A and B are shown apart, each in its own frame.
Chain A
Amino acid sequence: MIPVQTIVDRVTSILDAEGSDRYLFDQDFKPAINLTKDWVVAVFNKAFADKKLSEENLKELVQTKIWTTSTFSRINIDPSVVNVWSVLGIIPKPTVYPSSSTPTIGANPDTSTLETGVSYISSDFSARRLTIEEWNENKNNVFEAGNNVLTTSFTEYAYLNQGDYSSTNYTTVGEIEIRPAIPSEFLAVTYLRYPIDISVIGDSMEFPQTLTDLIVNKVLNYISFKQGDQTNLFSVSGAEVATLVKLMM
C-alpha cells in the first residue's frame, strides 16, 4: 500500500510548491492520482499478457472467494459486488471453512451465489482456461482439460471466460462456465480486484511500495498537462516513466 499523503508530499516537493495553494488536493492531486491508478492497471495488463509479471506483485489485490454454481455449472460475478480486474484461477471442488457449510441453491436454475460466509481452504484441482473454439472441440477429447469423458481420478477441469447467455427465460447476464459440470457446488475464484479510487488524502493506493517512484512521476506527468507542452516537467517526468516501465517490462 502507498499512502496518498506520501505521493502528495513528494509531488509537492518536486513542484517546489510546499506551503503554497497553487496545487489543491481535490482539483489537482486526486484526479492525477486516480488517472495514474488506471494507467498502472493498463501497464500491468500488458505485462500480464506478456507473462512478464506474476500476480505476487499485486498481492494487496489478490482475493479468493467462494461461489455456488448454478445448475448449468456457471457463476455470475456481479461487478457491483466484486469488481474483478483479472481472473487468476478457477478452483473447483474446494475445501472450505466452516467445513459444515453447504452450497446455497439459487431461486432459479441460472442463479449462482457468492458465499460471503464461506472461506476457501484448499483444493486438488485447478481449471484451465479454454477459448470458445477449444471449449466445443475438446468436449469429448479425453486428453484435453474440460472433457466430459474422463470423470474418474483423471478429471481435469476447464473454464470458459465470461459470456452472456441471457434470454427472456434466462435472466443472468455474464457468466463463467466450468466443465465437467459441477452444478450447485462450491467453486473458488482467485482474482485481482480492481483498485479502488482514492477520495481523501488519508487513503492509500493499493499497489506495492516499490511502485512509488513510478506513480509519483506519472502523477507529475498528468499535472504537467495543465502547464502547457513547453515545460520541462512534462518531458522529464515522461522520460522517467518510460525508463521505469522499460525496467518493469
Chain B
Amino acid sequence: MIIFYMSEIAISGIKTMINEFKNKPHWIGVVCFCITFLVVLGFFSWFFFTPFFLVFRELYSVGLKGGLDNFLPGTLIAININHFFYIIIILCAWFSVLLSRMLSKDSNVKNFKKIFAVAALACFVVSLSSQTSALFNLWLRRRAIYDGLTLEQRLHKLHTIFYEYAQECKRVLPGYHKATLITDMNMDEDPGMYYNRVLSYLLFPIDIINFRQGPQECLVIFDKENPRAFVPPHYRIIFYYGDKCLLAVKVKGDQS
C-alpha cells in the first residue's frame, strides 16, 4: 500500500516536472548537458579501464604546457581534452533535437536552439572551470618559485648565469661601451638565438648589438672554450667568469 502511494506521488511529481520543464527549455538544456557529460565520462571510464572518479579528477588536474606562441592542449587519459568537449557538444546537439521534438511539435526549431544553446554554454562552464584549475596550478608553481624573492633574486632565477655574468660586466665596466661578442653558442637557431637576445638585453649599455657606430672598446667572451686564446695582445682581461667567460677591454692609446 505504502509503495503504491509512494509510486503515485513519484509519478505525479515527474508529470509536474515535465509540465514545468515545457515552459523552461533552459533547464532541459542543463539536464541535457548533465546526462551527456556523465554518459561520455562513463564511456571514457569504461573504455580506458579507469575508475569514473579518476577520470573526473583528471579533468580538474590538467596542466598548462607551452606558452606564449602556443599552449599545448591538456589531456584526459591521453586524449586531447578538446576532443572530449567536442564529443559532448555534438551529442548535446543530437539530444537537443530529440528533446525538442518530445516537448512540442509546433516549435521544434525554437526549442532546439534554446536547449542546444544552454547545453553548449553549460559545457563551456565546465571547460572553463577545468582550465581555471589549470591556471590556478600554474600560479601555485610560479608562486613557489618567485614569491618572497627580491628583484635581483628573481632575475637570477630566471636568467641564471647570463644575469650573473652581465651584472659583473656592468659592475666592472659601467656606462656605454661598444663590444664584440665571441661565443661557441650557435646563434642561428634556438636556444642559442634566444640566449644571444638575453645576453644583449642584460648587458646593455655594454653594447653587443652594434647600436652605435665607432671603434670596438671591449670583448665579451661568453661560453667559449679556452677564452684566453681569443683575446688579442692589445686587449686586457679585466675579469673571468668561470672557465669559459671573460671580459677584456682595449688598452688605452692602442688605435689598432
> Do these two chains really belong together in a complex?
no
